Amino acid sequence: MKSKISAVISCIIAVFLLTFAVYAEQLLSAEIIEYNLSESGAENIQEWIDTVLTENAGASSEWYVIALSKNGEYDFAAYKSALETYLNNNDIRSATSRQKYALALLTVGSNSDYIAETMENSIGEQGLMSYVYGLHLLNNGCTSTSFTSENVIEQIISMQLADGGWAVMGEYGDPDVTAMTIQALAPHYKQYEQATTAIDKAVQFLSDKQLENGGYKSMGKEVSESISQVIIALSELDIDVETDSRFIKNGNTLFSALEQFRLNDGSYCHEIGGTTNHTSTVQAFMASVAYENEESLFITDKSDDSDTETTATVTALTTEATSISEAQTTYTAEKNKSYKPLACVVIGALTVLACLILLLTKKCSRKNFIAITIFAAAAITIVLFTDFSTAEDYYGTASEKSNPIGTVTIEIRCDTVAGKEDYIPESGVILEETEYAFETGETVYDILVEACRENNIQTEFSGSYISGMNYIYEFDFGELSGWMYFVNGEEASVGCNSYTLADGDRIKWVYSLEMGKDLK
């Protein structure tokens, strides 16, 4: 009798835990949506789509749009129009980037010629990942005169490494790349013998590589994106990551490991202890949606009858986040203090003049005076709370250091893309090794800002990322491309604003095509 009671209790507990797990994953996606609504000021998801996601079409919205297409019924018309306009006005050099946009277009029901063009000029053009993304398109019915699903699958399988994983370079599998490859092969599991064998080996690889805390290391670092990618991959195979013993280590699941990267506002960071990271957050959202939904995250039936045959999606990789330091704000504020009093005086003078004109034209109603006063107050507020600087103000001579404690050197190079465009130097040198003095507490970021200003090097920031230098941006040459920095020949493990300098440090910024793997 006791054994029966124990069995019943065990079943109840199991059901409770499973119910709680499903609820927790639903809560995860809801929290991320709530975070984005709070950040954007939108009152609901549709408003968020029509504003922020549409405004950032082609820049940072694609993965959210793809996941949202599985998370509810929304109108993506504004986003679709914006993305089509973006692609018409921009020449996308990277094959995998073109495939990403084609997948996004398919997801929102576009019949753009861009999709067919991408199928003819992208598959295999950029190594493994361009085969993977290409297979997503093929899985959705898109066609190519040069490739079929079968020969792309064969090519991908031929690139599987001895340990069962895949990587963009080297002899050992990478969890991120392996998971992304499984995502593309998943529709062919149990249907194509070679794909089934390859996937089984890859799943075992992911199980073997899982850490005791339930997470993963990619390129030697424990990061949230690896966990999200594996959750997506296993969900595509209908493997329940919360109950499958192969993916529970020391009582820890993938979702419990991902929770370590959750911040109080509902967003996610790249590394434990880090700040909000856009890529980490959107991939956590995609993982939650993939787990919650029975249908594939990568195959959609929302295309119009006139569309190029079906749709799909693809996941994003990571770039090291680097926070914007207070140095830039302080510098800009100092430069802009001089114009603000004058601007306020001018606004005041114009307000008085407007009032005089109303008096002379006998239109001095209370309503008109109130309108002018409100306009003037708004204009002064804008002046006081915004900062502007000319190129001459921003660039120029480096500031004097009152209490230097040592010197460091910095150089900026782009050898991996040297001469590929007119604005990219043939030598690959953007800034030759140059020496700078530094003060207590200054970071790699501070010296970068100083060097770029002194040498008139264009630098652009996107949120918490250093997204471009010398008009060379992250993702310009592939999904894995972007700026990285090294100190004394070693890749840093923290954001550049957190790396405090020491006397004699040698800083080197380089543009990588494969998240640093092409630099080793």
Which range (77-86, 139-148, 170-179, 476-485) has the least confidence? 476-485
Q: Which positions ≥6 away from 351 have C-beta within 8 Å?
A: 372, 373, 375, 376
Which range (213-227, 234-248, 321-335) has the least confidence? 321-335
Whole-number pLDDT of residue 307? 36
CB 312 within 8 A of CB 299: yes
Domain contains 320: no
375 and 413 in one domain? no
pLDDT band for position 386 (cuts 50, 70, 90): low
164 and 82 in one domain? yes
Contacts 24+ apart (CB under 8 A), 151-156: 152/123, 153/185, 153/188, 153/192, 153/194, 153/195, 154/194, 155/124, 155/131, 156/128, 156/131, 156/132, 156/181, 156/184, 156/185, 156/198
CA gap 97, 342 in Å, rounded: 47
Task: Give the residue, 158 or 388, on which the prediction is more confident.
Answer: 158
Name the domain count of the chain. Answer: 3
Which range (84-88, 91-95, 250-254, 311-315) has the least confidence? 311-315
CA gap 73, 222 in Å, rounded: 35
The amino acid that residue 135 corresponds to is L
Whole-number pLDDT of residue 401? 77
Task: Give the residue, 397 or 194, on which the prediction is more confident.
Answer: 194
Q: How many CA atoms lie within 13 A of 486 on its CB side?
A: 15
Q: Is the dihedral of CA 32, 33, 38, 39 positive or negative?
A: positive
CA gap 410, 282 in Å, rounded: 33
Percent above pLDDT 70 for the chain:
79
Helix H or strand E segment including 423: none
Phi, psi of 490 (to 5 degrees): -110, 135
- Bridge partner list, 483: 511
Q: Which two tokens stand for residue 463?
A: 């949120």
Lookup result for tokens 């690959």: 428
The model's pLDDT over 7-53, given as tens digits with 9 standing for 90+, comes to: 434 443 343 334 334 444 446 788 999 999 999 999 999 999 999 99
Whole-number pLDDT of residue 403? 84
Listing DSSP states for 77-92 in one string gives HHHHHHHHHHHHH---
User: Which of 82, 90, 108, 74 has the alpha carbon at shortest distance from 313?
Assistant: 108
Whole-number pLDDT of residue 24? 44
- Average pLDDT rounded to a whole number, residues 110-137: 92
Percent above pLDDT 90 for the chain:
49
Count of C-beta atoms within a 10 Å radius of residue 244:
14
214 and 352 in one domain? no
The model's pLDDT over 436-461, given as tens digits with 9 standing for 90+, comes to: 999 888 888 889 888 988 898 888 75
Whole-number pLDDT of residue 414? 94
300 and 332 in one domain? no
Judged by DSSP in three states, 482 sits in strand
CA gap 258, 21 in Å, rounded: 13
Beta strands, E only, 414-473: 429-439, 459-462, 465-469, 472-473
pLDDT band for position 464 (cuts 50, 70, 90): very low
CA gap 450, 457 in Å, rounded: 10
Domain contains 13: yes
308 and 425 in one domain? no
199 and 114 in one domain? yes
Among 249, 278, 312, residue at a domain's last position: 312
Whole-number pLDDT of residue 301? 61
463 and 379 in one domain? no
- Residue 333, pLDDT > 50, answer no
Task: Give the residue, 164 or 313, on which the prediction is more confident.
Answer: 164
Q: Which two tokens stand for residue 297?
A: 């995250």
CA gap 185, 451 in Å, rounded: 46
- Bin 323: left if φ > 0, else alpha if -120 < ψ < 50, else beta: beta
Tell me the H-state helices in 186-298. 193-209, 224-236, 254-258, 278-292
- Bridge partner list, 269: 276
Which range (222-226, 232-236, 463-467) has the least confidence? 463-467
Domain contains 317: no
Q: Which of 309-318, 367-376, 386-395, 413-422 has the highest mean predicted lDDT (pLDDT)?
A: 413-422
377 and 332 in one domain? yes
- Average pLDDT rounded to a whole number, residues 66-75: 90
Which range (297-301, 311-315, 345-349) has the least confidence? 311-315
- Bridge partner list, 509: 412, 485
Domain contains 318: no
Whole-number pLDDT of residue 293? 87
Task: Please give the mean pLDDT across all residues of the chain.
Answer: 81
Whole-number pLDDT of residue 363? 66
Q: Counting Cβ atoms within 10 Å, is residue 450 exposed (0-12), middle (13-18) or buried (19+)? A: buried
CB 445 within 8 A of CB 496: yes
- Average pLDDT rounded to a whole number, residues 274-295: 90
Whole-number pLDDT of residue 1? 46
- Average pLDDT rounded to a whole number, residues 49-75: 92
pLDDT band for position 309 (cuts 50, 70, 90): very low
What CATH code is carried by the domain that includes residue 19?
A: 1.50.10.20
207 and 101 in one domain? yes
Domain contains 319: no
487 and 365 in one domain? no
Whole-number pLDDT of residue 383? 61
Domain coverage including residue 469: 396-519
Whole-number pLDDT of residue 118? 95
161 and 249 in one domain? yes
Task: Give the residue, 384 or 177, on which the prediction is more confident.
Answer: 177
- Residue 133, pLDDT > 90, answer yes
The model's pLDDT over 262-274, given as tens digits with 9 standing for 90+, comes to: 999 999 998 898 8
279 and 251 in one domain? yes
Strands of the 482-487 sheet, one edge to the other? 429-439, 404-413, 506-512, 482-487, 490-491
How far is residue 42 from each of residues 35, 47, 73, measured CA to CA in Å? 11, 6, 17
Whole-number pLDDT of residue 231? 97
Among 391, 417, 432, residue at a domain's last position: 391
Task: Give the residue, 510 or 465, on which the prediction is more confident.
Answer: 510
- Bridge partner list, 311: 300
Domain contains 116: yes
Judged by DSSP in three states, 217 sits in strand
Domain contains 165: yes
